[in-house]
């Protein structure tokens, strides 16, 4: 199946859904004002709290497309990409530090995003929703334990194995094979600058054994025992991000009827659609802020 808007020459801002942003931001401002007015009048409800949190998050991140594009351009070759689940605020902070020449500090900001709660929620927790292979979730639970203990020699290859099996069974692709189809119409993670790019970096061939530290967790070198200097927190979190990106890709594909790629794209959203979108975003933000 041919998927549009995934060529290397296209940008995330070329995605059809980007045309909805002016309508989204305008209606979000209206909803935010109404919720604040209700709260000023003493109306209290968890739904209002989530709506306001979702609205604030949306308006604070008007620049997310530009940031995501810049983040991928700079960091994808180092194993980091912007996905639907990855923090927009983290990409913004990392880009600011990179611009100032603080490369190590930029990576520290990225690493800070990967706390135990997020790895459990977006990594281990999601695995149980897809497929009937319960032992794969057990593998990720073990990988999380190894990660928490700083035992990266064991965690990194185990997560890579999970990623490869998940891609085969759920996405139906040979993840580290020749040109796997990791695209998805009108998405972040499935854009050519995101998951397809980072997988190419992880799939580069390794011709000889080396003990030097590597910047990305090279799958072939690690699995075949040729790349030995991979056991770092950075490489471990890059493998976790790979798995999160694969689950993001699957979710986005499920959410889109890709046979309708040629259908006309609406230029604005209804108020109901915006409310539901903000409510879902607010609920997610509330969970992540715990």
- What pLDDT, in 10s, does the model give residues 245-270? 999 999 988 887 544 454 555 667 78
CA atoms within 13 A on the CB side of 167: 23
| Inside any domain, residue 2 | no
- Residue 24 confidence class, pLDDT cut points 50, 70, 90: confident
| Inside any domain, residue 1 | no
C-alpha R_g of the chain? 20
| Inside any domain, residue 118 | yes
| Inside any domain, residue 5 | no
Q: Which domain holds residue 221?
A: 15-258+269-288
For 207, the token pair is: 């011709």
| pLDDT (0 to 100) of residue 59 | 85
For the chain, the straight-line distance linking the first and the last C-alpha, in angstroms and rounded, comes to: 41
Beta strand residue intervals within 142-224, DSSP E: 210-213
Q: Please, are residues 51 and 27 in contact by the beta-carbon 8 Å criterion? A: no
Higher pLDDT, 200 or 20: 200
Q: Say yes or no to pLDDT of 5 above 50.
A: no
Domain count, the chain: 1
- Four-residue CA torsion sign, 286, 132, 244, 248: negative
- What pLDDT, in 10s, does the model give residues 198-210? 999 999 999 999 9
| Inside any domain, residue 8 | no
| Inside any domain, residue 263 | no
Residue ranges of alpha helices (H) inside 12-102 are 21-40, 46-60, 64-75, 88-99
- Four-residue CA torsion sign, 102, 199, 176, 138: positive
Higher pLDDT, 35 or 4: 35
Tell me what the mean pLDDT of segment 128-135 comes to.
Answer: 76
- What pLDDT, in 10s, does the model give residues 76-119? 999 999 998 998 889 999 999 999 999 999 999 999 999 999 99
| Inside any domain, residue 4 | no
- Residue 23 confidence class, pLDDT cut points 50, 70, 90: confident
| Inside any domain, residue 70 | yes
């Amino acid at each position: 199946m041919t998927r549009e808007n995934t060529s290397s020459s296209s940008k995330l801002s070329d995605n059809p859904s980007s045309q909805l942003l002016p309508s989204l931001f305008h209606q979000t401002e209206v909803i935010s004002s109404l919720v604040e007015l209700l709260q000023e009048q003493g109306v209290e409800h968890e739904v209002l709290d989530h709506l306001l949190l979702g609205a604030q998050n949306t308006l604070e991140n008007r620049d997310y497309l530009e940031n995501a594009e810049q983040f991928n351009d700079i960091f994808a070759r180092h194993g980091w990409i912007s996905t639907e689940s990855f923090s927009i605020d983290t990409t913004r902070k990392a880009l600011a530090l990179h611009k100032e020449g603080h490369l190590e500090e930029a990576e520290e900001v990225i690493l800070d995003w990967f706390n135990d709660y997020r790895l459990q929620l977006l990594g281990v927790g999601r695995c149980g929703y897809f497929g009937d292979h319960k032992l794969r979730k057990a593998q990720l639970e073990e990988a999380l334990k190894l990660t928490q203990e700083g035992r990266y020699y064991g965690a990194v290859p185990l997560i890579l194995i999970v990623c490869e099996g998940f891609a085969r069974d759920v996405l139906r692709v040979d993840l580290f094979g020749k040109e796997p189809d990791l695209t998805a119409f009108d998405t972040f993670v499935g854009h050519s600058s995101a998951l397809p790019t980072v997988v190419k970096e992880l799939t580069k061939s390794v011709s000889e054994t080396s003990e030097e530290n590597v910047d990305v967790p090279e799958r072939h070198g690690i699995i075949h025992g040729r790349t030995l200097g991979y056991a770092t927190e950075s490489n471990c979190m890059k493998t976790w991000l790979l798995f999160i990106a694969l689950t993001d890709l699957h979710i986005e594909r499920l959410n889109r009827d890709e046979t309708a790629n040629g259908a006309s794209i609406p230029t604005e959203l209804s108020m109901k659609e915006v409310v539901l979108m903000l409510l879902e975003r607010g609920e997610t933000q509330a969970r992540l802020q715990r």
